[in-house]
Amino acid sequence: MNHNTGKNGKLKLSLILFAIIFLFFTGESSLLAQESQTRALKVDPFYLKVFEEAKLAFNRGEFEEAFQNIKIAAFGLLDEPDLLGEAFVYLTVSAYNLKRIDQVEHYLKEISRFKLNARISSSRLPKELKEQFDKIQSTFKNGVTG
């Protein structure tokens, strides 16, 4: 009987150690997930709200309102390159629709300076917007010097 109790004791100890190790690693991945969420929330909610409202204005064709508000939002998105790239696309297309060529050139240069082209290509931007942006970018690369 003592012999069985010894085996049961070792089995219980093994299970307890396994549970502790499992909880440690599960807790660790949970902490990593929380840290990832915290990083995603580096952007002040104010700027996210302004950006969302500006995109709605853009979709209504209110390019002046969209342009002004996205400029504000972009300031708060500097630490989030994916969102910053999206904001610069909206700014570029808005400026183009407002016939502000100097601003189009400015935001195309900013996209290049921040190295955002790959992020923009793989972004969740609407297909039509990406196509319009690509046409603008291509036109300016072919026609703009400097």
Tens of pLDDT, residue by residue over 108-127, are 999 999 999 999 999 999 99
* pLDDT tier at 6, thresholds 50, 70, 90: low
CB < 8 Å & 24+ apart, contacts of 103-106? 103/67, 104/136, 104/140, 105/140, 105/144
pTM (2 decimals)? 0.71
65-111 pLDDT tens trace: 999 999 999 999 999 999 999 999 999 999 999 999 999 999 999 99
Amino acid at 64: E
The confidence score (pLDDT) of residue 141 equals: 87
The confidence score (pLDDT) of residue 42 equals: 82
Checking if the pLDDT of 19 tops 50, the result is: yes
Please state the domain extents for the chain.
1-41, 45-143
The confidence score (pLDDT) of residue 30 equals: 46
More confident residue, 19 or 54: 54
CA distance 106 to 69: 17
* CATH 1.10.10 for the 45-143 domain, yes or no: no
Q: What is the residue-averaged pLDDT of the chain?
A: 83
The confidence score (pLDDT) of residue 136 equals: 97
Checking if the pLDDT of 135 tops 70, the result is: yes
CA distance 91 to 74: 9
Checking if the pLDDT of 35 tops 70, the result is: no
